[in-house]
Chains A and B, each alone.
Chain A
Amino acid sequence: MLRTTLAGLRAHKLRLLLTAVAITLGVGFISGTFVLTDTMDKGVAKTFAKSADKVDFAVLPKSDDPDEGAPAKLLQKVRALPGVTDVHGVVKGDAALVGKDGKGVGDSPTVGMSVASGRLLRYDVDKGRPPSGGGETVLDTKVAKREGYTVGDTVSVLGEKHRVHKFKVVGLVDFGIDQEASFRGAVGFDSATAMLMTGQKTYRELDIAGGNEAAVKAAAGAGYDVYTGEELGARLAKAAGADTKIIQTGLLIFGLVAMLVSALVIYNTFSILIAQRMREMALLRCVGATRRQVFGGVLAESAVVGLVGSLLGLVAGVGLGEGALVAVSRFNAGVAVAGPSLAVRTIVLGLAVGIVVTVLSALLPARAATRVAPVAALRADLEPGSGRFRLGWLRTAIAVLLGAAGLGLGVLGSLVMGKGQNAMFTVAFAGGVFFLAVIAAMPALVRPLGRLAGAVPARLGGVPARLAVANAQRAPRRTATTTIALTVGVGLVSLFAVVAASGKATASSELEEQFPVQFQVRAQDYDGSVPQALTEALRKRPEVTDVVESHRKDTKVGDDDQGEIYTITRSALGKILKPEIKQGTLAAALKPGTAMVDDDTVARSGPGLGETVQVETAHGTVPVKITAVYKAGASLDGIIIPESDFTRYFGAQDPVDIYVKTRDGLPSSQARKAVDEAARPYPAAKVVSSAEFEETLTKAIDMMLMIFGGLLGLAIIIALFGIANTLTLSVVERTRESALLRALGLTKRQLRRMLSVEALVMAVIGAFTGVVLGIGFGWAATNAMASDSVFALPYLQVIGFVVLAGAAGMVAAVMPARRAARTSIVESLAHD
């Protein structure tokens, strides 16, 4: 039996390959993910091993708190140990490099780091030498290149209290192995200067050359961990590897979607193959094959297909991983590029997933094969596809039940439940359930949807198009499975598109309603503040009509040691910043001794309306009564007390944010210039225009959408292969029918067009279903996200998806159509 199966496969190499393509792509993606992340891990591990190699022992404080690092005393103690030749205290904090425009570089301040000289230098010095003494610094190579600095330049770095210090650049260093530094950019000093500049009082780590472990451990004591260089390298690599893990998990989820689509394609292909080989199966049964043998034969065939597909997939995976690596290393130069690493696990997992998915997908078709009666071998040809499909009661029941459950959960999640994560999970689950209902009901939907999708082509395309539309509806089960594979990808993409568009709409409506200012001036670092003097300077500018300050004080609120109290310029409240009051009144919350709080904080079991909280102030603890609850918005959150109270409680404080409203009708470039000029003396003060902010946000969301779209693209490509597959097999099935049409006067071009339109109809059915599902659940997800989210339908994108899917479907039809047109009429008409 096995020999028969293998002979059959050898005879139909093209069919084998076509079936295997779906598996190849899915397995390729999954193994590519592993190759990519393994290679990245290897590169990371190699880099860290190299850098940690230079350290014999490292002492790390057990506490993560930067204030509880290793004190200078400990460093001296360790240095005095016998055998220790050198000790370097690692310092890390904020030290903002000032760019040539006089502003701090980047969105957050650069990292100020200590750089050892001599043996303990862990970073690669690209140019120059390590710094020594108070007047020297080294710059991160990438930052220096971006900002146009090089060795010999004098640069400004902001120290404590944002005071400007001048340094001479003596070297360019690759801080790549330090993630924080590579993300934010870094400036390096010797340890003492680093402490001065960052304001750190202790060391994050002591790197030691020489000495022995026991002595170091004894000197360090209980509050510290001591690692050998090797252990340190492994530890650092592991921490960096966490990133790779996230990438891996993310990619694997998309890989699973691709495999799901592959499974649908394989299932369909095998179903059609079995239906077409009814005679072959019956003949096998005639000559004495048992049901079990027929079943086994089909499964063996699927296993071979799975194996071939998976092997090709592994090859593709190495290529994909390699390609992605090139892209990744372009963004992140810190990762050393190692050769692609194909782990045994990758091979085993890739093959296993590929074969198991294929065999599982072939189970049902194999069972159908066993039901072929031997006498079928002797019957005249069976007509392919009657075009009718009736949902059995079981299928109807399942579809109705799942559909109702999906809708119910969707309504629950989007309308009834409280907004937030749980509601979103409910909606996601509802989407999954409803999709199952669609799968169950799809064969019955093919005819109406086919009529819909085919309406335009049937009217415009003449006879061939009308025949094509009829053909697409001919085998509803087959068309259903073919199209549902496309529905998965298109559905997810349009879901993301809707959520992204809604996110953008929500953000811009929030900005418009609650943030009606043109500019925000904020400190580069989160804890920092903007000098009060800047507010005064801005108020003096004729271009500026309003300046609003926001103050924050970290203090004990109730039982919370890390509480925060906010205030907003009195005159702006209700005029420029208009919080939406949900309980109480704004006026009540402006009286002394009161406060208003946002609803999110209340929901997180914060103080509610009418309650009193104890706030620790400079003059002891005072009671503050909550007299209003407002809706959390773009620029307001937390406990807000009246401005006069704030000053009384905490004394004069620099604002954390300044909002600037410029004169109406002033061109934005002039407005920008005015604000920039006022902020020029303060390098740490960043000016952000709300238009820029919105643009940044939009860009970030678009980027996300593009990445998701790209990753889901694979699932869509697999589904298109499914369409090509189904079409190819249908062409084989209808060889004589096509020949008859050709004999009756259908031109080759009309025949090709007929198949293109059939593919178009199938693709549009799938894409349309996907888009409807995507919009529906995108709406539900948007609703579930937050109470103030705005639903937006990206019309053009959604229409674009359907049009693109249709066009792609027609491309998928090119090969089968050419094949059909090439077939000789006479041979095809010959009676078999």
Chain B
Amino acid sequence: MFKLKTSIKKEFLILLNDKVGLSIMFGLPIVLVFLMTIIQDSAYKIVNENKVKILISNQDKGTLGTKFIHLIEDSKSFEIELDNQLSLIATNRELLKRDKLIALYIPEVFSASMEEKANYISKKMLVDLGLASDTITDKLSKTEITFFHDPILQDNYASSIMGLISTFLGSIEQNLMVERVYHQMGFENPKNLEHTILENRTKITKIASSTSNKVPNPNSTQHNVPAWTIFAMFFMVLSLGSNITQEKNSGSFIRLKTIPTHYSMILISKMLVYIFAALLQVIIIFSIGKFIFPYIGLPDLEMPTHFGAFVLIVVLSSIAAVSYAVMIGSISKTPEQNNGIGSISVMIFAALGGIWVPLFALPDYMVFISNFSPMRWCLEGFYLLFLSDNGLKELTGVVISIIIFIIVCQVITFGKLKHEKLI
């Protein structure tokens, strides 16, 4: 035990002396987690929280244009700026100038053409039903609203907004149509018809999926804090890997072979120190997410309810990162080689594993390739806890994947050191 304690102390002292390694292990992820959360927070807010900023120019001579705008306003999904002085071309230009995502141009003939269409269809309906005998000769002009959007807006997001606006138009058309049918049949328009139609529409209930009662709240903090902590853990390859290659090159390994101590004890002490460092990274970065982010206007980190499962994922991710660093350190011949292989491979793992870009933004074949990134399994473990509030049972697949990765790294390390007759 005294041997192990002394060995841990020596590794700890070496780590403390590695100023560059420490700054990479702790400074870099802190900077990254701040930067990436702030940058991504606005993007998440656009999708999740903020109202869509919309510029509307209403040139309609009738009343339907105003009614249409009221419906948009009542949806509470939009922040409307109304400027009826804008022409079609000016509306397009002003969208970007006024920092809007969407602009709508309602033409002069909006009400007239809507009414014309309602007249035409209601008349046609009555003729088809044999309730009227007029011939339909009217030539129908098309109703058109121009929809402008910021070019950075994703197509699917722009389409969703267009779909929402179409439902408002559909609602106006529907009311107008019913009203005209009553009118053509010589009846008075029933009172509150519009209200009745609106109130009795089929509602859609929106619930975010979760296996527990807790409602998950995906935001930039919930993604970036675990993501960059995992990145920091794996980036330890620079410090720990260099430590091993330097030791191999310094001749210390040779001396160690002549000493009555098994190398596995030395390797275990290295791993314990770096696992401790990884746990410290988790404590620091998660504390920043929990206690500092709210003070700078970022969402605070909501901790998962299954604390045991959280600890398991943290510990397994730490062991996986440390095992990877030990493996790279063992197969590298020099610290420079270790740093090259280590940093590039960690960057690739991060890109594939959804650290930089969420997996849903990647094409299918890249999502398949991402299965080979250990960072993906670790991140998935954190997602299951932080976004879906799952427990141990749901983590089984992720836990098995990480354990297999750890075993593979350890076997390769053992094989390499054995081949080099270092153990």
* A-B complex is real: no
Residues of B bordering A, CB below 8 Å: none
